[in-house]
Structures are given as C-alpha cells and as structure tokens.
A and B are shown apart, each in its own frame.
Chain A
Amino acid sequence: MEFLQPVLDGFGVVLDPTNLLYCLLGVVIGMLIGVLPGLGPAATIAILLPLTYGVEPVTAIIMLAGIFYGAQYGGTITSVLLRLPGEASSVVTVFDGYQLAKQGKAGTALGIAAIGSFIGGTVGIIGLTFLAPIVAGFALDFGPPEYAALALLGILLVATISNGSKSKALIAAALGLLLATVGRDVFTGAERFTFGNLSLADGIDFVPVAMGLFGLGEILYNLEERHRAAKAPAKVANVWPSRADLKQSSGAIGRGSVLGFFLGILPGGGATISSMAAYAMEKKRSKNPERFGQGAVEGVAAPETANNAAATSSFIPLLTLGIPANATMALMFGALLIQGVTPGPQLVDQHPDLFWGVVNSMYIGNILLLIMSIPLVGVFVRILRVRGAILAPITALITLLGAYTINNSMFDVVLVVFFGVVGYLMKKFGFEPGPLVLAFVLGELLEANLRRSLLVFNGDLSGVFGRPISLSLLLVFAVVALWPVAKTLLARRRTAGAVEAVEPVKTKENA
C-alpha cells in the first residue's frame, strides 16, 4: 500500500481546481488543433510555451500533455468525415473511417475511435503508473557514461526513424548539438560562439528556438496553401456504436493498446508509427483482409487505440530517464527545465506531486475527451468552417507576442522570426526540424556527461566498455548507426546481381 500513497496523493493534485481547469484547457486546445489540419501538437505546444511561465510546473505539464493526447482524439474527426487527416497519426484512419462515413456510419467510426482512444489511453496510463517507477529505480544507478550513451542513442534513434533522408536528419541533430554550445561553458567559464553579444552569453534559450522552428516555421510552411479547402461537413448523429461493432473491434482495441504502449516507449517511436503498425497488424491478422479499406471497423479502432496508448507511454522515457523519445517530448523536457525541474530518475522521489499529478491528470483528461468526442462531436465539426486564412495571422501573432512576454525582450522575438525562417527553409530542403530541437535540448546534458565521463576515465573512453549498461547502450547505438549503411550495401549488391541477370536478356532482344 505504501507504493500507492503517492499515487493517491497525485489525485489530490489533479483535483485542485486550477489544475483541473488547465487540464480541460489542454484537452480542448488539443481537440481543436487535432481537428484543424495544419498545426500539429508539436507546433501548438511550442507556440504555447510562454503560457507555462506563469503557472506551477505541474499545472504547465498537465496542460501541455492534454494538448498532446487531445490532438490524437481530434485528428480522427477530419479523417473520418473529410478524408483529411488532421494529424499524421490519423492518416491510416482515413482508409476505413472515410469508407464507413460514406456508408452512413460516420457516427459509428467516430464512436469506436473515441472508445478505442479512451481504452488505449487508459491502458497507457496504467502501464505508465506501474512501469515508470521501476524504470526510474533502475536508472538511479546511472552515472555520467550511461547518461551520455543514452542521450546519444536517443538522438540517433529520433534522427534515423524520422521521415526522409537519414543523413540530413543527422546533420540537423549535429547542428542542434552545436547550437547548444553557444554561451558560457559550464566547466571553464569560457564564452563560446557569442561573438561578444551579451544576449548570447547565457546561451540561446530553448523556447524561442522551439517556437521558431516548430511553431512559426510550420505557420510559414502552411502559407503555401497546401491544404485543400474543407467541404462543409455533413451532420453527425448517433455516435454510439452498436454492440456488434464493439464486439468486432474489441480484439483490435486490445491489441492496439498493447502495441501502441510498447512502440510509444521506444525512442523515435510514438503515435504515428504505432497507428500504422497497428493497422498493418490488424490487416495481417484478419481472416478476410480484403475488408480493410472497404469500411472495416477494426481499421479505425486499431490505429486510434494505438496512437493514444503510444502518446501516453512516450512519457515514460521522459519522466523516468530524462530522455525525450520524440520531438513533442523534447518540448515537454524544455518546459520542465524552464520551471527548474530536471526530468530524470529522481523525479518520482523528489517531485512525487509533479510526477503523479501529471500521470493522474491523464485519467481525468481522457474522461474529458471521451465526453467531448462523443456527445460534443458536432461542436468540433463546426470548427472546420473556420478558414485557414483567418487562423494563420492569429497563430503568428500569438507566437510573436507570446515570445515577447517570456523575458520582455525584443531579442527573443527576433530569434523566433529567425528560427521560423530557418525552420521553413529546413522543411523545404528536406531537413527535419525535430532532430535539431531534440538534440538542442539534450546538448548540454550530453556534453556535460561526456566530459564528466572523460574525467572519470582519465581521458580514456575505453573505460565505457567496462560498464555493462553503457556498453550495451553503445552497442545498440552502433547497430542503429550502421544498419542503414549495411542495408543500402546489401540492396545495392542485390540490384547489381539483378542487373547482371537482366543484361543478357536485353542483348538477346537487341540481337
């Protein structure tokens, strides 16, 4: 029972009216941006970071977390009704969700998605409740070499799993690490890359970088009108799925919860990958896979369950190891640092109110979302009528004015605009901003632990191999780093073989 005491105290934290209000605010904002195509949860969280300055750390994270998992609910609505995925994690929901809508069962699809999301989210939270303290206890023995290895592995995984070119993602990550060195060196006090600029002496703040790269960068990118105008959606009635539908999708919801939970923990994993994996798994398991794409209820239930489970479980590495598993978690990490809380294994013991407050707020948030996404779905559908042309300047102004309020300085606003342009250009040239932001957040931790390890080992890094945990982390690192290269080489050899096999045929034809 002793274990449960802080858990129960956590409910006391959540039920504080301020925290409840911020939880509601977070999930409503999350639903809204989930419904609206364009801004994703990462961009929204980045834009709203200044809002967290004035409140308690636990309140801030409760709200930001609400935005994140709320967006997973909201993204479904446009996928089902309009065939426009509101979020990347709802893309596969389109395949069957829209077909169901066409058959007049939009309500069923949305209802199943909401119920699946709720179950997936709840399974995620229960897993988080029991697994997180264990992982944190394990990590208490970590020393500088383990942290350095873990941070390196986290950055590498996020970079290699992101879409597009791996080497470009790695360049972005390395640039993030380089950017993190700007300012005074903690070990020697020497100023690095400040070029005599006083504003840079304390280093570049995380908030303007994130607001620029994720927030403003995305707003500018969306200015190129890449979203097809949304048709006025039809009315949605009766979102309560029938018993037969529930029975049919119960297996998919169960499997989606477990799969999503585990994929969410992995660095680089998260909501998007788990939704795709869950859809693929259901299709493979099905006795008649041809139903998928024709309006199979499981095709909506599985991905929507999995993305919520993953959104929840991706908090585990952040809250227990202090290593963000994806770009959105990097923003949470930054938000906690601003508040003077360093996420890590000590968090559960030192700030149990914060840890359990945030975890337990997710139970409340999921119930709020279930209420909003079943009876109130019509209200959110109406939001779609708000035009992008009117929203864009509003979000841009929120970003700039919000940036000013952090330190009451125009320099921060200038930084946001600068990084906004950089973020836009990175996207245009195929560099993901995610790895850069993640690396930037982890940069100081990585460098400090690496240098401490060097001191411990007296400059001889081979000492790392004498420590089992850091050794195994580095082995995983090596495998992840070399796997794409090996795969390319293998593929090339295979195609070379194939070309040789084809060549004689060709010459024959020519002759």
Chain B
Amino acid sequence: MDFRDSPAEAEFRVRLRAWLVDNNPGLPASSTDDAYWARQAEWHSALYDAGFFGLSWPTRYGGHDLPTVFDVILDDELAAAGAPPRPSLGYLVQGMSTHGSDAIKDRFLPGLISGRDRWCQGFSEPDAGSDLASLRTTAIHEGDEYVIDGHKVWTSYSDVADWCFLLARTEPDVPKHKGLSAFAVAMDQPGIEQHPLRMINGITSEFGQVAFDGARVPAENMIGEPGEGWRVAMTIVSHEREPGELGYVARYSKTVKELEQAVRADPDAFRSDQREGIAWAYVQAEMLRLHVCRRLSERLDGVDHGPGGSVDKLLMTWVEQAVGTAALDVSGSRAAVDTDDVALKVYLYSRAQSVMGGTSQIQKNIIATRILGLPTG
C-alpha cells in the first residue's frame, strides 16, 4: 500500500504543474457559469495536445497507456492550480471500448479522446428517466440505414455535439430491455433539432433536449450488436457514476479551497457553524480524493464494469452536496440578495447531483440488490 508517487508519477506531476502555470485558462466553474462551456472545447484540446488527457487509454486511440492512477495526479494538480476539471467523457470511452467493433473504435475513439469530435449522450427521455429501458425513441432499419424518431432530454453538451451516443429501440416487439441498440449519430443533419435546458441555477449550456424527426444513421454506426443497447447503456452509466472517471474531485477541492481562503482572509467574520461546515466539506472532499486513489488503484487489476460505481456515485453526491451547502452557508445573506452569487449557483447545482447519472434512490436499489444481494420486493 503506497499513496506516494512513483518516480514516473512524480516526473509527470512536475511536468503537469509547470504546464499549468502558463496554461490555466482561469475559467469559472462548469457548474455555475456558461462561460466555462463556451471554452470547454478549447480547454479539452489544450489539455490533450499537451499530453495530459486520455492518460490511461490506449495509445492506438490517442491515449497514453499509463496506469489508471495517473488520473489521480491530474485531478490533484488541476485542483491545486485552480484549473477546470478534466473533460468528463471517460464513460463514453468505456462504453465504446467495451462494446464497439474494431472499426467503430478506430473510427470514433481518437476524435472523442482528443476533443476533435464533440459528443453528447442521448439516453434519457421525458418519459424514460429512472426507468430508462422504457425509452420510446425508435430506430427503424431501412436498407443500409436506421431512421430515428423520438425525443431525448438531459442530453449533455448537445448544443456543440458533432455526434450523439444514442440509445434507441430497434425491436419494438421484444421485452423492453432486449429491444434496444446503440448508435453513433451525426448531429449535423436535417432531422435533428436541439434546444437548451435551463437549470435551476440559471446555466443553459450543459444540458439540452434533442428532437429526432426522421434523422438517419448508417447501419455501420451501430455500437455493439443489434439488441445489445441495454448492456452498452449499463456499461456507460456504471462509469458515469464514478468520480474516478469523471474527475469531479478537482472541482470540489477547488471550491473548498476558495471557501477556506475566504474565511482565512477574515476569520472573525464567520460563525462557528460556518467554519465547521467548511471543515466538514474539506473532510468530505478529501474522502472522495482518497476513495478515487483506492478505486483507480483497484483498476490496476483490470476494469470492473460492476455495481461498485453506485457506491462511488452516492459518496460523490454527498460530497458535492456538503460542499454546496457549506458554500451557501458561508455566503449567507449575499445569496439572498444577489441573483448572481456564485455560492448560490454552486449550491443549486449540487442538488442535481443526486439525480443526474441515476438518482440516489436508483443507486441504493442497485447497491441493495446487486452488492448486498438483498431480495427484490
């Protein structure tokens, strides 16, 4: 058991730290400001071009084939520098790597990883949230193509996406989990329209809704086999729940650091409950950082696509919400009088963490039945 950097890791850390001195874009947090999203692609490319992104992914697809724990260092240093977190798309890489054919992987992974191609994930629908398998978007086989009709929502980054990792019903007459398939759908075509979703904290750039009206996708763009869509989706969501895949630790640590600086600048201006709230948020953020160290170390034995991500997701949610609450409590009256108060936005955004990527209640169902082996009711 060793939490210390190996020589290679230490060298990487020094190199990254030096690079960040001149290349921190100084963007506001993704959770609170559309200005982040306007320059997210630029940040992704910069990080990738400098050799600091896609660390554990195969070199064949533009990654670096490094041990998974290098991502811990990336998150550490991004947080320490106050830089934005790494782009969160590891779950799509996992889904495509696990289920895609060599042709699919060769064609799509390099652009996904480098940021040259922007991707969104078309899973949730207005009537298919927690019950994802009941989704109604159809993909009907016509010649060499599939024709897509339906409506997706909570589609992250749909406004800038070149491609959509779409889950659609290809076989309406089989049980709901068995009739789904996954596709890489080009977003720039007449049959697709997307609209932004405005979150309760006011941001409009992260999530969108997408209408498919006779959109077309070549059959060769199917990811996995016909009917494999549910398994593809489960691989993706299991990783979408992992802080180690998402890199959110950097965002939490950065916020805690800012709260600590605010209090240190004027210690007497804060009540003991506000101070304790920050100390607790620090403990929570540290817990998640160390939990990610442990999970990514366990991955040195090989990646597991199992239900453990649900545990990590709940831990991450508790951290985000502890940090959000501490920010709001420290902000105090400012949040009440200023619509643009950042702490207010951090807090309001944190409420979504127990819903996005699968609600906390769904995670608990998964833990109870698949990890604890309790009987279903």
Q: Are A and B subunits of one complex?
A: no
* A contact set with B: CB distance below 8 Å: none
